[in-house]
């Protein structure tokens, strides 16, 4: 059907374009006005075949297309409506939520949460600030006044002073429409960081930009470096999982939810470092913990001792509310320690795996892990398989994972400002000249494919699905003179 032979280069190019046009018209006759993309993320095989042949099918077409730059060939693909799943990702919008000078007056913008705090259709952003010198810190809500991500954005206080370190999450209580925020926060006048639930007054019919938010202390004795929400005891209620914090000098714990105003805090469930996530293993819907061991720096998953079937019932499985869960080693870092590393889980092919990334700590050997994927074999109690995504990454404070673009698993990694020039951590510049990166890795056809979205630095991003892409809220902490402006970035597949 698409056989052709000509010696004229312009005619060959026009012929290829004409065949593509005819293919698209044929496709439209079947009442489909766009290129067929299957759930696997692969393009329709007929168009794939045509483009493959047009690119390198024979010496004539190869010679013709070789005169095009990669960028021009990509433009041709865009014009015909075909974008390879691993090629077209980009940051299509970068809105400044608050300028660096505006943020500088509050402190270091460490905690970021993007969510539907004020509207069910337009996201807003909550940022927690660490105090610095004479700055007040606090937790602030940012809402767009224009009805779009472009802003301008309005800043209002949830807590006008206090020390935010270093994680917060959106929390929607059963029956609520709008999430509140659970934050690791040291209130003004307190000597101890706490886990505090700030309750959104929007659920009471009040304006969250003008009315005080409710306050409930979940753990009055400890903050944390990383935090997750999950039902850890099978009673259908979200519990708060906290890592240790080497900076705060606190250990890990789980705050099990009893009811609206009652939580049971259990320490030393797992001997975690600065990172934590929740994972399931094959054949069970129990929730386990994963992270680096604070003692030896190796990566483990910690087994939930509850073995009831089914796991989910109305009452808690009280054996889950005990300390010292059994540890199963996943891997050992090649050098240094992983106890300060970032961790998150990702599901591929119905199996939970772990994404880990280097997050440097002062005074420690630097782990050469970079960004890596760990997945179990037939026996998850034995060491897991390791896949190197990119070992050049340094100081990735947080990893974001999920699926997008028809179910393609993704990993979004960002490097902090101290990982790259011109930062001078500990008075010394980084030993390399690689710019910092915001990058997305996608798992396509059994292979991880990386796309650097921007050569810039940022820290502790928060990501949600937005339209057919992602919305990321982020900012530099600014300790190494990075611009502290708060960004809302739209990422499209």
User: pLDDT tens for residues 172-181?
Assistant: 999 999 999 9
pLDDT bin (cut points 50, 70, 90) of residue 385 is very high
Residue 356 is predicted with a pLDDT of 93
Cis peptide before 273 (omega within 30 of 0): no
> Which one has a higher pLDDT value, 66 or 260?
260
Share of the chain above pLDDT 70, in %: 79
Q: What is the pLDDT of residues 63-93, one digit of tens each?
A: 444 444 444 444 444 344 444 444 579 999 9
> Both tokens of residue 462?
């928060």
For position 420, what pLDDT does the model report? 85
Q: What is the pLDDT of residue 76?
A: 45
Question: For 94-108, 146-160, 352-366, which range has the lowest pLDDT when averaged over its residues?
Answer: 352-366
Whole-angstrom Cα distance, residue 440 to residue 33?
29
Q: Rounded to whole angstroms, what are the CA distances from 335 to 364, 369, 383, 428, 477? A: 11, 8, 17, 21, 27
What mean pLDDT do residues 252-278 have? 96
What is the domain range of residue 25? 9-79
pLDDT band at 35 (very low <50, low <70, confident <90, very high): very low
CA distances from 268 to 9, 290, 381, 407 (A): 71, 13, 20, 36
* pLDDT at residue number 352: 95
pLDDT band (50, 70, 90) for residue 428:
confident
Report pLDDT for 53: 40
pLDDT score at 284:
79
Is residue 381 one of the residues assigned to a domain? no
CA 348/CA 49 separation, integer angstroms: 27
Query: Region 334-344: what's the mean pLDDT?
Result: 70
What is the model's pLDDT at position 426?
A: 65
Average pLDDT over residues 49-65: 40
Report pLDDT for 56. Answer: 37
Provide the token pair at 296: 């030896």
pLDDT at 340: 72
Q: Which residue has the tokens 């440097």?
A: 360
- Residue 241: its pLDDT value, please? 98
- Look at residue 209 in the predicted model and tell me its pLDDT: 98
Mean per-residue pLDDT of the chain: 84
What pLDDT is stored for residue 44 in this prediction? 39
Q: How far is CA 442 from CA 311, 389, 404, 486, 493, in A?
A: 32, 10, 9, 26, 10
- The pair phi, psi for residue 160, each rounded to 5°, is -80, -10
337, pLDDT greater than 60: no
CB contact at 8 A, 172 and 179: yes
pLDDT at 16: 45
The total domain count for the chain is 1
In the predicted model, is pLDDT for residue 33 greater than 60? no
User: What is the pLDDT, as a whole number, of residue 334?
Assistant: 56
pLDDT of residue 419: 85
Strand stretches in 58-213, DSSP E: 90-98, 108-115, 124-130, 138-144, 153-159, 162-171, 180-187, 194-199
**Domain contains 171:** no
Secondary structure letter of residue 272 according to DSSP: B
Compare 71 and 375 and report the one with higher pLDDT: 375
- pLDDT value for 8: 41
Does 105 fall in a domain? no
396: in domain: no
Position 86 scores a pLDDT of 47
Residue 10 is classified by DSSP as H
Higher pLDDT pick, 139 / 11? 139
Average pLDDT rounded to a whole number, residues 49-76: 41
More confident residue, 393 or 359: 393
Residue 478 lies in a domain: no
CA 309 to chain CA centroid, nearest Å? 32
Q: Is residue 27 part of a domain?
A: yes
Distance CA 133, CA 140 (A): 19
Question: What's the N-to-C CA distance of the chain in angstroms?
Answer: 32
Determine the Cα angle at 241 with ends 238 and 247, to 5°: 150
In-domain check, residue 56:
yes
pLDDT on residue 434: 83
Residue 361 scores a pLDDT above 90: no
Q: How confident is the model at residue 131 (pLDDT cuts 50, 70, 90)?
A: very high
Residue 155 is assigned to a structural domain of this protein: no
């Amino acid at each position: 059907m698409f056989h052709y032979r000509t010696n004229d280069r312009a005619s060959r190019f026009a012929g290829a374009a004409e065949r593509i046009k005819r293919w698209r018209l044929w496709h439209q006759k079947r009442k489909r006005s766009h290129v067929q993309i299957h759930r696997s993320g692969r393009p329709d095989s007929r168009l794939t075949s045509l483009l493959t042949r047009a690119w390198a099918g024979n010496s004539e077409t190869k010679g013709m297309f070789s005169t095009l730059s990669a960028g021009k060939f990509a433009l041709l693909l865009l014009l015909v409506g075909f974008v390879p799943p691993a090629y077209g990702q980009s940051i299509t919008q970068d809105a400044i939520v608050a300028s660096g000078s505006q943020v500088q007056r509050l402190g270091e913008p460490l905690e970021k949460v993007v969510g539907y705090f004020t509207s069910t259709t337009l996201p807003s952003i909550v940022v927690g600030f660490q105090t610095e010198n004479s700055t007040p810190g606090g937790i602030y809500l940012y809402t767009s006044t224009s009805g779009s991500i472009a802003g301008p954005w309005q800043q209002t206080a949830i807590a006008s002073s206090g020390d935010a370190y270093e994680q917060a999450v959106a929390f929607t209580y059963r029956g609520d429409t709008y999430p509140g925020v659970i934050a690791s926060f040291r209130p003004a006048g307190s000597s101890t960081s706490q886990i505090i639930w700030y309750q959104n007054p929007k659920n009471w019919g009040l304006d969250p930009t003008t009315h005080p938010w409710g306050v409930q202390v979940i753990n009055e004795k400890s903050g944390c470096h990383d935090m997750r929400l999950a039902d850890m005891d099978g009673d259908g209620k979200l519990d708060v999982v906290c890592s240790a914090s080497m900076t705060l000098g606190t250990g890990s714990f789980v705050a099990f939810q009893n009811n609206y105003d009652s939580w049971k805090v259990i320490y030393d469930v797992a001997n975690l470092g600065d990172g934590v996530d929740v994972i399931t293993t094959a054949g069970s819907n129990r929730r386990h913990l994963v992270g680096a061991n604070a003692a030896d720096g190796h990566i483990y998953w910690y087994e939930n001792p509850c073995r009831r079937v089914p796991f989910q019932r109305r009452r808690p499985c009280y054996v889950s509310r005990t300390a010292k869960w059994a540890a199963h080693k996943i891997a050992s870092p090649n050098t240094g320690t992983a106890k300060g590393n970032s961790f998150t889980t990702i599901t591929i092919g119905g199996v939970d795996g772990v994404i880990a990334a280097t997050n440097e700590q002062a005074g420690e050997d630097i782990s050469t892990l970079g960004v890596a994927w760990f997945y179990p074999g037939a026996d998850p109690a034995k060491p897991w398989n390791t896949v190197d995504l990119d070992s050049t990454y340094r100081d990735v404070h947080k990893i974001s994972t999920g699926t997008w673009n028809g179910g393609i698993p993704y990993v979004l990694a960002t490097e902090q400002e101290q990982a790259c020039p011109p930062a001078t951590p500990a008075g010394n510049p980084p030993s390399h000249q690689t710019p910092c990166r915001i990058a997305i890795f996608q798992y396509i056809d059994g292979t991880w494919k990386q796309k650097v979205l921007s050569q810039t630095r940022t820290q502790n991003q928060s990501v949600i699905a937005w339209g057919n892409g992602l919305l990321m809220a982020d900012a530099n902490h600014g300790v190494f003179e990075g611009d502290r402006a708060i960004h809302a970035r739209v990422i499209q597949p």
